[in-house]
Amino acid sequence: GESVGLHLPTLSVQEGDNSIINCAYSNSASDYFIWYKQESGKGPQFIIDIRSNMDKRQGQRVTVLLNKTVKHLSLQIAATQPGDSAVYFCAENIVGTDKLIFGTGTRLQVFP
Amino acid sequence: NAGVTQTPKFRILKIGQSMTLQCAQDMNHNYMYWYRQDPGMGLKLIYYSVGAGITDKGEVPNGYNVSRSTTEDFPLRLELAAPSQTSVYFCASIEKGPAGTQYFGPGTRLLVL
């Protein structure tokens, strides 16, 4: 079936540490994945994306890893800051469709 | 550019009432989407449009209708509001989707009592 899920609903990290947010997807026909950040009371904000022909992509302080063998996606945030506190969603696009399927989300809490 | 705008920000409806959630974008994007987000959950796709005059159902279209008469506007219509439609509604657009950055509006919070 089509589903995107997350292993950890809440992740608490200390400021300065690295954060890893995980996501599992079930549709092997998905060829494009996106991570979004949603702050309280706001709409989701694009962070980084990756296509299925890649296994790693880096942005500013963020890295997305894709393991197609086990259908797993992760978002790594380096040197986590208080401003990173938010809910993070992964989303997948099934090849040939114009739709994104979102996961449930993981809340990242950063404490001093 | 104002980006994606949504009105109203918040609305309370009685069961059986109808309303239209407005969404507009000034980026000349072809693709527009409507999502709903229930508390503590991810986004569910209601309807989407790949261009003016073209609309298609998403995962949860029942109880909603859309139209796309212009590139800029993509209103979402609730005909007979039900408590199950209490949610936050987000509109999004992308130039040519769905790969790439989807720009989201600020959302409309709807409460049906």
Domain boundaries, chain A: 4-111
B75 at interface of A, judged by CB pairs closer than 8 A? no
Q: Given pLDDT bands bounded at 50, 70 and 90, which one contains residue A100?
A: confident
Nearest CA-CA distance, residue A99 and chain B, Å: 6
Instruction: Of B5, B11, B9, give the one whose Cα is nearest residue B86.
Output: B11
pLDDT digits 0-9 by tens, B40-81? 788 999 999 999 999 999 999 999 999 999 999 999 999 999
**Residue A35: closest CA among A83, A81, A76, A79:** A76
Domain B4-112 in this protein, CATH class: mainly beta
Q: Determine, for residues A100 and B106 on separate chains, whether the beta-carbon distance falls below 8 Å.
A: no
Q: Please write the tens of the pLDDT for every residue from B23-44.
A: 999 999 999 999 999 887 889 9
Interface size A-B, in CB pairs within 8 Å, comes to 59
When pLDDT is cut at 50, 70 and 90, the band that residue A106 belongs to is very high
Which CATH architecture does the domain made up of A4-111 adopt? Sandwich (2.60)
Spatial contact of B36 and B88, defined as CB atoms under 8 Å apart? yes
Name the least confident of A39-53, A76-90, B12-26: A39-53
For residue A108, what pLDDT band results from cuts at 50, 70 and 90?
very high
Report the SS3 class of residue B64: strand
d(CA B34, CA B12): 19
By the CB < 8 Å criterion, does A1 face chain B? no
Domain limits, chain B? 4-112
Torsion of CA B22, B57, A103, A107, to 10 degrees: 10
- B92 CB within 8 Å of a chain A CB: yes
Q: Show Cβ contacts of residue A32 under 8 Å, excluding neighbours closer than 6 positions.
A: A49, A50, A51, A52, A92, A93, A95, B98, B99
**Three-state DSSP class for A84?**
helix
For residue A98, name the pLDDT band (cuts at 50, 70, 90). Answer: confident
Which of A32, A99, A104 lies at the smallest CB-CB distance from B58?
A99
Q: Scanning every residue of chain A, which has its alpha carbon at the shortest distance from the alpha carbon of B48?
A: A99
